[in-house]
Amino acid sequence: MKIRVVSVPVGDQEKALQFYTKKLGFVKKLDIPLGEGSRWLTVVDEEEQDGPEVLLEPAPNHFEPAKTFQKALFDAGIPWTQFNVDNVDTEYDRLIQLGVEFSVKPTVMGTAKVAVFNDTCGNNIQIVEML
């Protein structure tokens, strides 16, 4: 088994694409129309374009329980997913300069340093540096 695609629920795929590419630095890999305004829209790490893809999934638009679950996680401050980074402080500073809002500033937790930001699409996303 291999992990090829993980999904992040988004209400507006175009808004998500702009955030995930322009602010986070991912690159668009696939953009396939699925009908009814939905797309199979994935982004990847620019340095690992054959690596795992993040699907910007329009699930909250089509399945009310998905929207309820996403909102409950967000309101509780629980990250939907996490992305590893080489240096949390450096990435935090870069993203702050781009206007990204953090709910958790860089914090050491055991053998990791973490920070949590709002992806503007209804999700808390955690960045992690292993110490």
- Say if residue 42 is exposed, middle or buried (CB neighbours under 10 Å; 0-12, 13-18, 19+): buried
Q: How far is CA 125 from the centre of its chain?
A: 6
Residue 42's CATH number: 3.10.180.10
pLDDT at 21: 98
pLDDT at 73: 98
Give the list of residues 6+ apart from residue 126 with CB closer than 8 angstroms, or none. Answer: 79, 81, 82, 83, 104, 114, 115, 116
Number of domains in the chain: 1
CB 93 within 8 A of CB 106: no
Count Cα neighbours of 126 within 13 Å in the Cβ-side half-sphere.
18
pLDDT at 59: 84
pLDDT at 60: 85
pLDDT at 36: 87
CB 79 within 8 A of CB 87: no
Query: 104 is in which domain, residue-wise?
Result: 5-130
pLDDT by residue for the chain (131 residues), tens digit each? 999 999 999 999 999 999 999 999 999 999 999 988 899 999 999 999 999 999 999 988 889 999 999 999 999 999 999 999 999 999 999 999 999 999 999 999 999 999 999 999 999 999 999 99
* H helical segments located in the chain: 13-18, 59-62, 64-76, 88-97
pLDDT at 64: 93
